[in-house]
Structure 1
Amino acid sequence: MPSDQPHAASKGRRERNKQRVRNQIYSSAVALFAEKGYEGTTIDDITERADVARGTFFNYFQRKDDLITEWAELRRRAVSKRLELPLSIGSTDVASVLHLCFATLAQVNEEERELSETMLSAWVKAGKPLTEAPHTAEVFARILRMGQERNQIDADVDATLVGDMLRDVYLGALYRWARHRSEPGELGDSLGTIVDIFLHGIVVRPADSANTAVL
């Protein structure tokens, strides 16, 4: 009976070669986006940098916008891997977990500043925030539910809604950061402030006013 091993090995080699070409096209594209901007980069630029035929590009990506989706998906995986630690901490209070989560997000963005700026702009212009699943919102909601289980977050709070709100302000801070040249660590400081405001609020409570008056 003939062995299936040669066929399996050949198939595995073909798949590895296909993945190698796909990675080559993608890495060439994002390098060009960082250098020339998304709008300033053409498919011909990408294929020339990747040293592949124009038709080869379309074997892997139907249009240039698909590279934005690829970037977003790879970024999501990287963020998810980084967040495994904050989400696995069982003994820390929810405020610390949220702070660590936002600090991780800031680190991911600041590590590739030029590319993050370029791709965030392209991501928004392509309407991706409206069509992609809100992964960060789901992470925030998960942390809030963990806080509710520990009686650290009001049980009546809609964790899904607040998770969406945290995602909204996170993206807002990210867009502001991407629009101007800031010092290293500034994004992390901004996101940390956002967490504090969400946890403590901005309204002065009567008891706080009375204490202030006495002081």
Structure 2
Amino acid sequence: MSAESPAAPVATGRRERNKQRMRARIFSAALSLFAEKGFEQTKVDDITERADVARGTFFNHFQHKEELVTTWSSQRLSRFEEKLRQGTPTNEDLSVALGRCMTALVEVNEEEEPGLNRVMLTSWVRAGLPITEPPRTAEVFANVIRTGLAEGRIRSDVDPVQVGYLLRDAYLGALFRWCRGDLKAEGLATELQGIVEFILPSIVSDSSAVAATK
């Protein structure tokens, strides 16, 4: 018994890795099909054929096709948060901190396969996820504002949560226009930086505004 015990964690780890690889294989096949055919036009059988797995294997990993949308959204948010964790500077200017958040969002979107963003965002909205998902992006922005408040850079009457939602909503609006092709030459990065520059003057403290002009 004691000789066999050490092998158990290794076996469990291997099974979990194999499970994760299979889930990733199915997910990757699904996204490639969504980009080619659209979400509604893609059937579970199409996904299993592309991934070369049995239909039952799909349902071992995803309860239904719509769960692929929540997985896509969750992975995007995780990538966004990971980018912000990489080499986060201290005592950075408020506009730089917010700009860094916007840059990370741009990178997440530009990493997607062309055409996939529009398909998945449409499915994300149809599933009601902008309402039901935890507001993680808004919370990231709110934390930047909280730091500014603590350092005296933000007016004391500013509500970080309100500003966080305002920035999140402005980002989503810009993202929808970008996917539709309305931004054209301006690009998503330019649009998001413009949003930061538009909002900042209304929330910074008088002392910060004076310091910025010197």
Q: Please say whether Structure 1 and Structure 2 have the same fold, judged by a TM-score greater than 0.5.
A: yes
Q: CA offsets, 1:76-106, max 9 Å, x none?
A: 11000111247x3212211111112112211
How many matched pairs? 200
In structure 2, the partner of 1:2 is: 2
In structure 1, the partner of 2:17 is: 16
In structure 1, the partner of 2:162 is: 161
CA distance in 2, matches of 1:178, 1:170: 12
CA distance in 2, matches of 1:161, 1:182: 26
- 1:182 Cα deviation after fit: 5.3
Residues 185 and 48 of structure 1, relative CA distance in 2, 3 Å threshold = farther
- 1:114 Cα deviation after fit: 2.1
Q: Which moved more, 1:191-200 or 1:134-143?
A: 191-200
- 1:121 Cα deviation after fit: 1.1
In structure 2, the partner of 1:109 is: 109
In structure 2, the partner of 1:91 is: 91
CA distance in 2, matches of 1:137, 1:56: 36
In structure 1, the partner of 2:74 is: 73
Asked if the contact 2:25–2:51 (Cα under 8 Å) also holds between the matched residues in 1, the reply is yes
Asked if the contact 2:177–2:183 (Cα under 8 Å) also holds between the matched residues in 1, the reply is no
Q: Which moved more, 1:182-191 or 1:145-154?
A: 182-191
- Unpaired runs of 5+ residues, structure 1, are 202-215
Q: Which moved more, 1:109-118 or 1:26-35?
A: 109-118
In structure 2, the partner of 1:38 is: 39
CA distance in 2, matches of 1:120, 1:184: 22
CA distance in 1, matches of 2:33, 2:24: 14
Q: Which moved more, 1:66-75 or 1:2-11?
A: 2-11
CA RMSD of aligned residues (A): 1.7
- Unpaired runs of 5+ residues, structure 2, are 203-214
2:153 match: secondary structure: coil
Asked if the contact 1:110–1:184 (Cα under 8 Å) also holds between the matched residues in 2, the reply is no
Asked if the contact 1:93–1:152 (Cα under 8 Å) also holds between the matched residues in 2, the reply is no
Dislocated runs of 4+, deviation >6 Å = none
Q: CA offsets, 1:147-169, max 9 Å, x none?
A: 11221110110101111111111
2:115 match: secondary structure: helix
Alignment of 1:130-149 (within 5 A): 130-149=131-150
1:83 match: secondary structure: helix
Q: CA offsets, 1:152-198, max 9 Å, x none?
A: 11011010111111111111111111112755760000111111111
Amino acid at match of 2:73: A
- TM-score, length of structure 2 as denominator length: 0.88
1:92 match: secondary structure: coil
- 1:41 Cα deviation after fit: 0.9
Residues 56 and 184 of structure 1, relative CA distance in 2, 3 Å threshold = farther
CA distance in 2, matches of 1:116, 1:93: 31
